[in-house]
Structure 1
Amino acid sequence: MNQRVLAERARRAIPGGVNSGQRNVPGLSDLVIAHAEGARFRDADGKEYLDFHAAFGPPLLGHNDPDVNAAVAEAGNGADLCGVGVTEGEVELAETLAELVPSVERVLLTSTGSEATFHALRVARAATGRRLVVKFQGCYHGWHDSVSLNVISSAEKVGGRDPISTGILPEVLEATLVLPFNSSQAVRQAFADHGADIAAVIVEPVPHNVGCLLPEQEFLRTLREECTKAGSVLVFDEVITGFRHHLGGWQAISGVTPDLTTMGKAIANGYPVGALGGRADLMDLFSSRPGGPAFFAGTYNGHPAVVAAALATLRKLRAEPVHAHVFALGERIRSGLTEVFDSLGIPALVTGYGSVFVGYFMTGPARTYDDLLRNDANMFIGYRRRLLDHGIFELPLNLKRSHVSYAHTDADVDRLLEAAAVAARQAGGEVQDLAAASTMGGAVR
């Protein structure tokens, strides 16, 4: 069926026509996905895109990986969802996560990363009897109320509370302290002022929800030291960094071990599974253990199909040179894009880590969220919209990162770099025209 017709049907039946807020992208409101495989997807009109968005990062192996799909199909021949007891697959997955991730002694499975972060903060409050949670500007930890603030904020809202949604009780937001990322001084001051009432500090060790701010080692060590001194719970939200950057997550890279870790996305190559793991004394507070005071439940937790997907994904990540491949391609992209933008005289900072890359249209550095306020959002979005003309998909929303998968090839990188030169030149011209029209007082739409 015609893509536009399908999109219109979607808008009549689904608010906005999509099932997640950031899937409704200006200029792509009629996009209907028909097929995905490897490093590509195709829309309902038959147009194919080389995909560097990768659904915000889960398909590290590539779309519809045959080994993962085979494991899911095989699981369908055994137990399905029975909602009682445990399956062998759940046991094996929990044991595997505990083996791989330094902080993990016990594991509970969820259906999403948001659920995992929600339960992490709930159990931290249960363990400490305290009220306050600390998060950082630019970090995203899911949809629940206590962390739904200060992700991508405008300049005038940085430093205050900036909720991403209406409908949140003010007293919930007031129990969250927002600090600047990479500021050890701000962390020490917050603990000096509020340490006796801080239940938890939650952080993306790399804030990938605003592209890529790489953490300073002193900052991560300060989080660990202050939480230890105050008796607060340190939570690493590794929903993005876990498994994509290292099988042990960023904590294995940095050597800084949190008390709790949330996981998701690349754990199952796109199948809907999240996990919360950490210290046994904290995890044993959940009601999954009889007598545990922190309620924990979920009908779909540990569904056999998604458990099979996670086990197959982790087996492949351990057995094949996945990280070596995607890291090499990621480095080629970052260095290649830097050369492209330099050759065109376009101010840009290309950064990232491993298989993640992002090109900010600004000069460096990119250390804190405040630095990202210099990014030229019109150029950032315009460049990515022009990439679409070349069949290359990087999400055309400000500050969003891009990803390499095991299915991408050197030829795919060559194609991206060739298209980038044309798209950046076109977008640069459009931004200049827009600025000129604005200066002359012209009507700009």
Structure 2
Amino acid sequence: MTLAERARRVIPGGVNSGQRSIPGFTDLVIARTRGSRFWDQHGREFTDYHAAFGPAVLGHNDPDVAAATAEAGTTLALAGVGVTEAEVALAEELTALVPSLEKVLLTSTGSEATFHALRVARAATGRDLVVKFQGCYHGWHDAVSLNVISAPERVGTKDPTSTGILAPVLDATLVLPFNDPEAVRRVFAEHGRDIAAVILEPVPHNVGALLPTDTFLRTLREECTKAGTVLVFDEVITGFRHGLGGYQEICGITPDLTTLGKAIANGAPIGALGGRADLMDLFSTRPGGPAFFAGTYNGHPQVVAAALATLRKLREEPVHEHIYRLGARARDGLAALYRELDVPAVVTGFGSVFVTYFMDGPAPLTYDDLLANDAARFIGVRRALTDHGIFELPLNLKRSHVSYAHTDDDIDRLLEATAKAVRTVLAEGTPTDLAHTSTMGGAQR
């Protein structure tokens, strides 16, 4: 019996998160990770552009982060009371770096951070409604677990990602198209006095990369300010991967609350919620605060040590310069490749993130634009890439990442392997199991 078979006997589906079991890769067992690569149980080596949905901005098993984590484990265990010096240092670091953060609380996951953001927004405003956008993912909790990667016929309706969500919870969430300022103005004209929060990924990376327009983001800020609504930027993906100040520093729009995760600790389990002091002081961590906040593992010493080491390296070394340059090389090289092969494709992304949509036209701005993507070809090319030692997650619309550990040689191999994979797919046609694929994917970050 293989290890994967043993896993399926005792773990539902054989994996511990919803999108780790990939069609066509049901026997994938990861044995080792290092730098820009991972190895499976058979010793096969893959250059990893998936990178666990992107937290390892420094690369897998970064030696400085690993050393800091190990050192913390020799001096501190989880006490579950009071605060540690390292927690204070991390909070000071985060508030100094991210424009919107006046105070900050640590969580163990990004989903917890977005959950608490909506809870405190409702506590502050006394309102019920939340606005989210089609294609944006904000975690597994009921209020926002809808309308991420939706089938065409479900766009414009409530499209929950799971059964078991109460209808009244879904009814309290309004879903709008991304990059549509007129839709934002209309919803505030009709419901403004009842909207507690607007939450969005400033760059919706859960569907690849939809870049926001300046008009859209400014309209959100203006309408939320006028209505007294809390504007929440979910920067769980964009925070620290795109810059030390998050995407909000890049775009010049300051939200009221910000959620963070992923790249804070290079893959260690951490999230954060921060923002205006008056909002953050509503949490029960301050005596008398009406919005309950708790988490046994919040601020775990080893995770905090990983975060401090990660941020130190992001500050002191040319990490963003390196990953931005390689990201641009990947996007430019892929675009040239598809032109040479005469394959309809749009290569887009931001910074260290890249994605190829198999469709005609300019870079997409809305989820509706993405419905033109040839999902079967998207998945088929990524499956074929694994035959050449390259791993990009073979699920529709998922983005890819470069890290500080990737090199120019890695990008060269990516481009060479992609050329071979595309030629294979063109020659052999769409695999039978992908022939009718339209919106395979799901909602995990």
TM-score (ref. length: structure 1): 0.96
* TM alignment of 1:240-319, pairs within 5 A: 240-319=237-316
Change (3 A) 1:126 1:32: same
The residue that corresponds to 1:406 in the other structure is: 404
| C-alpha contact (below 8 Å) 2:134/2:148 kept by paired residues | yes
1:85 lines up with 2:82 in the alignment:
yes
**What do residues 281-328 of structure 1 show as CA deviations (whole Å, max 9, x unaligned)?**
000000000000000000000000000000000000000000000000
Change (3 A) 1:171 1:421: same
The residue that corresponds to 1:354 in the other structure is: 351
1:168 to 152, 162, 165: 165
Aligned positions, number: 434
2:100 to 103, 109, 118: 103
1:232 lines up with 2:229 in the alignment:
yes
The residue that corresponds to 1:70 in the other structure is: 67
2:395 to 394, 397, 402: 397
**What do residues 101-138 of structure 1 show as CA deviations (whole Å, max 9, x unaligned)?**
00000000000000000000000000000000000000
Alpha-carbon separation, structure 2, partners of 1:57 and 1:202: 21
Per the alignment, in what secondary structure is the counterpart of residue 131 of structure 2?
Answer: strand
Alpha-carbon separation, structure 1, partners of 2:246 and 2:331: 22
The residue that corresponds to 2:439 in the other structure is: none
Per the alignment, in what secondary structure is the counterpart of residue 93 of structure 2?
Answer: helix
Which letter does structure 2 place at the counterpart of 1:56? F
1:377 to 375, 378, 381: 375
Alpha-carbon separation, structure 1, partners of 2:430 and 2:100: 50
| C-alpha contact (below 8 Å) 1:378/1:431 kept by paired residues | no
Alpha-carbon separation, structure 1, partners of 2:347 and 2:67: 37
* TM alignment of 1:108-257, pairs within 5 A: 108-257=105-254
Cα displacement (A) at 1:426: 1.2
Alpha-carbon separation, structure 2, partners of 1:262 and 1:431: 42
Alpha-carbon separation, structure 2, partners of 1:431 and 1:303: 50
Alpha-carbon separation, structure 2, partners of 1:130 and 1:358: 38
The residue that corresponds to 2:440 in the other structure is: none
Cα displacement (A) at 1:429: 3.0
1:42 to 24, 34, 39: 39
The residue that corresponds to 2:55 in the other structure is: 58
Per the alignment, in what secondary structure is the counterpart of residue 242 of structure 1?
Answer: coil
Which letter does structure 1 place at the counterpart of 2:348? T
Cα displacement (A) at 1:434: 6.4
1:423 lines up with 2:421 in the alignment:
yes
Per the alignment, in what secondary structure is the counterpart of residue 321 of structure 2?
Answer: helix
Per the alignment, in what secondary structure is the counterpart of residue 308 of structure 1?
Answer: helix
5+ residue gaps, structure 2: 437-445
RMSD between superposed Cα atoms in Å: 1.2
5+ residue gaps, structure 1: 439-445
The residue that corresponds to 1:441 in the other structure is: none
Change (3 A) 1:312 1:8: same
The residue that corresponds to 1:368 in the other structure is: 366
Alpha-carbon separation, structure 2, partners of 1:364 and 1:330: 21
- Percent identity of the aligned residues? 74
**What do residues 40-95 of structure 1 show as CA deviations (whole Å, max 9, x unaligned)?**
00001111100000110000000000000000011011121000000000000000
Which letter does structure 2 place at the counterpart of 1:150? N
Alpha-carbon separation, structure 2, partners of 1:85 and 1:187: 43
Cα displacement (A) at 1:423: 0.4
Which letter does structure 2 place at the counterpart of 1:93? L
Alpha-carbon separation, structure 1, partners of 2:339 and 2:52: 29
Which letter does structure 2 place at the counterpart of 1:6? L
Cα displacement (A) at 1:96: 0.3
Per the alignment, in what secondary structure is the counterpart of residue 293 of structure 2?
Answer: coil
The residue that corresponds to 1:442 in the other structure is: none
* TM alignment of 1:15-30, pairs within 5 A: 15-30=12-27
Alpha-carbon separation, structure 2, partners of 1:178 and 1:58: 27
Alpha-carbon separation, structure 1, partners of 2:74 and 2:132: 43
Alpha-carbon separation, structure 1, partners of 2:205 and 2:396: 12
Cα displacement (A) at 1:364: 2.5
Per the alignment, in what secondary structure is the counterpart of residue 21 of structure 1?
Answer: coil
| C-alpha contact (below 8 Å) 2:133/2:200 kept by paired residues | yes
